[in-house]
Amino acid sequence: MKKILFAAIVFCFQLTFYGYAQPGNLTLYNMERIPGVNQLNPAKFPKNTTSYFSLPAIDISLSSPLAYSDVIERRSNDSLYVNLQRALNKLHTNNKFSAELNAPILGFGILSKNLYLTFSINARSSFNIAFPKDLLNFIVNGNASYRGKSAYLLPENFGDATVWTEIAIGAGYRINEKWNVGIKPKLIFGVANIHTGSSYLSIFTSESGDMLRVDGVVDVNASAPESGDAIFANPGFSIDLGGIYKIDDHFEVSASVVDLGFISWNKRNNTAYRTSDGVGSYEFYGFEWDDLWSEDGFNEDFLDAIADTLKNMMEIETLENIANYTTMLPVKLYFNGSYRINEMFKVSALYRMKIVNKTTYSAFSVNANYYSGKWFEAAIGNSFTGNSFFNPSVALSVSLGGVFQIFGLADFSNLNAAKAKSLNCQFGVNLLFGAK
């Protein structure tokens, strides 16, 4: 039982730490027959249908600087063990983890001549955390290798987690044979948030080791729902914009910006944690004799004394309901170019930039799409990210009877699941009407 629990912890640890490669649902962008493509560019119309009704679906993106095999190693006798030193060697100086969950609850769309109207309700969440290699190195190897320099344990804006619900009304319009444009305003209802702001933490070790200095700032805002809260307690707004330009019968370029918006977190549910004097800094030169020894002998409470000292150093204040604060949604920019070879094949190249807390996550992918009749679409592709050049992806869409569409997409950063640093899965069911 203990092993199962331990395995679960390690696995959750692993899942939580997916985030840097960030290929995400790049394959979806060039899928022409899945209505959900409209979520990545509101100027895109799904082909072969004039209206659709989507049932609840799931879209999960996880990415990490570490693969499973970077953390858990197999011995020659097939036993497994956690190798943190190996994990450490695989890390970059700065590392980013990310997890996103998008659960479309309800959606439908209608095409009327050149106007394509959509409506959707989505439950969404985003979790992003950045941490430097120093943090794990500090734990695994200690601070002896940091003599004369600082170990940066937590960078500024290192964490952000948001859960929200959105109601979107989109409109795409075909201006002419060459141009499509689209807009999708969204009403946002924030559910919960943690925002680390300018918080950071570093520890400096003097050359001789006779002094440690802790520098840090705590500037955290948190908002959590309480029973009886109105759904509109934390309002927000965002917008998707997109455009498509057909150069000729083969070439097409498009661009979009998605989730450009904010959430205003109401002060009624807010808790803020702050270092009262701004930058907290504490130099430690060792204990006084009386700190270590009490009248009864060795003072075992001295560790508590350290904790109290650090707490006093940081002078962290807990402030309730002080003011509204605003967080930006993780905005994404897409730039795509495609070449249609014939009726059955299309190749494309897509660049996506994701901006979270002033930090950018970039990914580039190439895809090949295959179309068969009006019922089948498949795609394979590969994404290139900052630390991985092989992130294969595959997508399938099957329309049974021309009405019941089942689709699935999967992006892996490696064909060997144990070596994959990212995972994106999306499954859903749509009811298509008015097949063209």
Partner 1 sequence: MKTRNIGIAAVLMALLSLFSCVKKKDFDFDRLSSDIEISPTLIFPLLNTKMSVEDFVTVSDVNEAQTVVSYLDDGLAVFNYFDTMTSYIPYPGNPDEDIVTLPIEGEIAISIFEQNASYKDIKLLLKEVAFELFTTTNASIKESEVKNIVITIFDDKSNSVVVKLDDFLFNIEKNKRCQVNIWNITEEFYQIVPHRLHYSFDFVYDKRMISGIESDEIVNKMEGLLDFSLYGYVGGLKLVDTISLQQTMSDLPDIEELNMYLTFKNNFPFSLDVQIYFLDENYTLKDSLFLSEELISSAPVTHECASGISEKEVEVNYGAERAKNLQTARYISLSANLETYKIEEENLVKIFKDNFFGIGMTVKVKESVNLNEFL
Binding site for partner 1 (CB under 8 A): 2-4, 6-7, 9-11, 68-69, 72, 74, 78-82, 84-85, 139-145, 147, 205, 208-212, 284-289, 292-293, 296-298, 300, 344-345, 370, 372, 378, 380, 392, 394, 396, 410, 412, 414-418
To partner 1, the closest distance from the beta carbon of 73 in angstroms equals 10
To partner 1, the closest distance from the beta carbon of 212 in angstroms equals 6
Of 1 and 112, which has the nearer Cβ to partner 1?
1
Helix residue ranges per DSSP H, 26-173: 68-71, 84-90, 133-141
Token code pair at residue 140: 């695994």
The rounded distance, in Å, linking the Cα atoms of 53 and 35 is 9
Token code pair at residue 119: 């409506």
Evaluate whether 349 touches 365 at the Cβ level (below 8 Å).
yes
3 state SS of 313 = helix
What residue has token string 């899928």? 31
To partner 1, the closest distance from the beta carbon of 308 in angstroms equals 18
Of 9 and 175, which has the nearer Cβ to partner 1?
9
Of 74 and 178, which has the nearer Cβ to partner 1?
74
To partner 1, the closest distance from the beta carbon of 60 in angstroms equals 16
Of 85 and 360, which has the nearer Cβ to partner 1?
85
The rounded distance, in Å, linking the Cα atoms of 221 and 271 is 6
What residue has token string 């699941």? 417
Neighbouring C-beta atoms of residue 240, cutoff 10 Å: 25
Of 128 and 414, which has the nearer Cβ to partner 1?
414
- Burial of 424 (C-beta count, 10 Å sphere; 0-12/13-18/19+): buried
Of 192 and 380, which has the nearer Cβ to partner 1?
380
- Nearest CA to 222 out of 307, 314, 329, 322 is that of 322
Q: Does residue 284 come out as left (phi exceeding 0), alpha (psi in the -120 to 50 range) or beta? A: beta
Of 221 and 397, which has the nearer Cβ to partner 1?
397
The rounded distance, in Å, linking the Cα atoms of 188 and 6 is 38
To partner 1, the closest distance from the beta carbon of 410 in angstroms equals 7
CA distance from start to end of the chain: 56
The rounded distance, in Å, linking the Cα atoms of 33 and 397 is 8
Of 96 and 346, which has the nearer Cβ to partner 1?
346
